[in-house]
């Protein structure tokens, strides 16, 4: 059984050479993530060239996701690197304190607007929510708090406001420079950290296009305010090419008890609005050091697959972990196991709706036929933009979708779409009457279908035109008309 759910792997020291990359792709990585929070421009450019070279060498279709750092809302540094804060003690966050002057009573902050964003009674969460501080007073540049949950606090830990509401812009000056770098790298997707509204996504897209990048924009859903309002969430999803359930900061801001329900809602809304969705953060974190995942991690990945996520993401597991290849292999096995469940192959999605676009109508009709005509073995989709295969992949089905395209950028973008396998194929250089036969021959060469099998084929009457899909055929291999 071929895996349908895609795997995103983060690059780092553990996978920073050609042999490791080759093994990573063979193990099942479909997308590589480059984290702009770490590394120089030269580092990222060299990794990009290496990814493209190795993927081409082994014949794998691999997309690159550039991940912008976003606003760094962090404390400054302590004189002695770390301190111990105890429950009930007062503690001050001071925007005017020197960067390395922190002690057991106070620490500086790099986000100078924190006093303006807070009010008495607010809860500040430090170090991914491990420590809690209640705001008791605001005094100029100082946020005065009482420690609610204490512990060890060290340099440069992140700050979250419980329930959200910090006003830091989604795109910093560094992000704007990194967008130009992403264009130079030719990334396929560009992730925006901490967007508050759809306008943040549109602004990032505008900057990317001005820099010469046609990357799909990925909204990382990690602020509480973006999931507390359904309208805001939907607008962000619609403004994006894909969304990421970024469970680290999101879980801190909304609380772990709410996170699973919100994750399911984001996946459901993304699929309903025809966008791809990535589920991320700590999916197999124990495998940073352990050779096998925990049962809880197996269930976590499987549940995301059952909910319909397009991709599951690995972060430190492949960037700096001890077992980067094993963790991809383990994640792939879990995905395949979950995909064997009948619920992942049955869909009533949009059966009751009317459609307004011809290509969407063809895509929905093809998937309805594929799910109801028992002898169909595969779906073949000739595409320019990749939009028809994306629409098809929103429908739950066990049927493989083979997307044939002449454009390498479109081919790489489809590496993220669940259940879609992209193949290089240029119908514009073929005689019109040969297109169907040669498209099917591509699947025969790959041992996907054999003579006598039925396949569904979608295409446009006029090849090479975006959004031109207007035809659906059911063909028998070996008897192509």
Q: Which of 52, 74, 130, 202 is catalytic?
A: 74
Is 9 one of the catalytic residues? no
**Which residues have a Cβ under 8 Å from the Cβ of 258 and sit 6 or more positions away?**
none
The answer to whether residues 309 and 301 touch, using CB atoms and an 8 Å cutoff, is no
Report DSSP state, residue 129. T
Token reading at 266: 């984001």
Other beta carbons within 10 Å of 362: 22
Element (H, E) at 35: strand 31-35
C-alpha to C-alpha distance for 26 and 468, rounded to whole angstroms: 34
Report CA torsion sign: 22, 23, 26, 30: negative
Q: How far is CA 56 from the centre of its chain?
A: 23
In 102-193, the DSSP E strands lie at 106-108, 123-126, 131-139, 142-149, 151-154, 159-161, 189-192
3 carries an active-site annotation:
no
Q: Distance of CA 133 to CAs 87, 317, 344, Å?
A: 9, 30, 43
d(CA 70, CA 313): 19
Candidate list 3, 47, 220, 413, residue with the active-site label: 220
Let me know if 418 is a catalytic residue.
no
Single out the catalytic residue among 5, 15, 48, 281. Answer: 281
302: which 2 tokens?
């499987």
Identify which of 14, 2, 5, 52 has the alpha carbon closest to the alpha carbon of residue 326.
14
For the chain, the farthest-separated pair of C-alpha atoms sits apart, in whole angstroms, at 81
Buried b (16+ CB within 10 A) or exposed e, 85-108: beeeeebbbbbebeeeebeeebbb
Burial class (CB in 10 A: 0-12, 13-18, 19+), 333: middle
Out of 4, 6, 33, 412, pick the active-site residue: 33
DSSP letters, 352-388, are: T-----HHHHHHHHHHHHHHH-TTEEEEEEE-SSSHH
> 409 by DSSP, 3-state: which?
helix
CA distance 383 to 165: 42
Strand partners, 402: 380, 421
* Sign of the dihedral defined by the CA atoms of residues 271, 276, 281, 284, in that order: positive
Specify whether 33 is catalytic.
yes
CA-CA distances (angstroms) from residue 118 to 106, 114, 141, 161, 238? 17, 6, 11, 8, 31
Q: Which residues are catalytic?
A: 33, 74, 220, 281
């Amino acid at each position: 059984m071929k895996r349908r759910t895609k795997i995103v792997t983060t690059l780092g020291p553990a996978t920073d050479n050609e042999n490791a990359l080759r093994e990573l792709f063979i193990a099942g990585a479909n997308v590589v993530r480059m984290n702009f929070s770490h590394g120089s421009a030269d580092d990222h450019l060299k990794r990009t060239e290496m990814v493209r070279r190795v993927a081409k060498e082994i014949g794998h279709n691999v997309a690159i996701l550039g991940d912008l750092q976003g606003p760094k809302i962090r404390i400054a540094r302590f004189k002695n690197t770390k301190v111990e804060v105890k429950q009930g003690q007062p503690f001050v966050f001071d925007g005017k304190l020197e960067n390395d002057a922190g002690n057991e009573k106070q620490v500086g902050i790099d986000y100078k607007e924190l006093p303006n964003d807070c009010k008495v009674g607010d809860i500040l969460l430090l170090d991914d929510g491990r420590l809690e501080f209640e705001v008791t007073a605001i005094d100029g540049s100082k946020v005065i708090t009482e420690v609610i949950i204490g512990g060890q606090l060290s340099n440069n830990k992140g700050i979250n406001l419980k329930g959200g509401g910090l006003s830091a812009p989604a795109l910093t000056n560094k992000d704007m420079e990194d967008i130009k770098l992403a264009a130079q790298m030719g990334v396929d997707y560009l992730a925006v950290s901490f967007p508050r509204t759809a306008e943040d996504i549109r602004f990032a897209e505008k900057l990317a296009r001005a820099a010469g990048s046609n990357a799909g924009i990925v909204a990382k859903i990690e602020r509480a305010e973006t999931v507390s309002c359904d309208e805001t969430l939907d607008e962000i999803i619609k403004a994006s090419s894909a969304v990421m359930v970024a469970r680290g900061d999101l879980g801190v801001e909304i609380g772990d008890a709410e996170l699973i329900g919100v994750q399911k809602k984001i996946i459901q809304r993304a699929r309903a609005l025809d966008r791809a969705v990535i589920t991320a953060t700590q999916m197999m974190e124990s495998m940073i050091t352990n050779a096998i995942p925990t049962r809880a991690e197996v269930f976590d990945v499987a549940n995301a697959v059952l909910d319909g996520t397009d991709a599951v993401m690995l972060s430190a597991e492949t960037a700096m972990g001890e077992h980067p290849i094993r963790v991809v292999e383990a994640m792939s096995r879990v995905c395949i196991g979950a995909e064997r469940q009948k619920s992942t192959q049955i869909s009533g999605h949009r059966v009751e709706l009317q459609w307004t676009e011809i290509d969407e109508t063809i895509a929905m009709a093809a998937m309805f036929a594929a799910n109801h005509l028992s002898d169909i073995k595969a779906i073949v989709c000739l595409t320019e933009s990749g939009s028809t295969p994306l629409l098809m992949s929103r429908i739950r089905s066990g049927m493989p979708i083979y997307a044939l395209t002449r454009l390498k950028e479109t081919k790489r973008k489809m590496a993220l779409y669940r259940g879609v396998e992209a193949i290089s194929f240029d119908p514009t250089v073929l005689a019109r009457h040969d297109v169907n036969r040669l498209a099917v021959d591509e699947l025969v060469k790959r041992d996907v279908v054999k003579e006598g099998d039925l396949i569904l084929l979608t295409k446009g009457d006029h090849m090479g035109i975006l959004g031109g899909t207007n035809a659906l055929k059911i063909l028998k291999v070996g008897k192509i008309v």
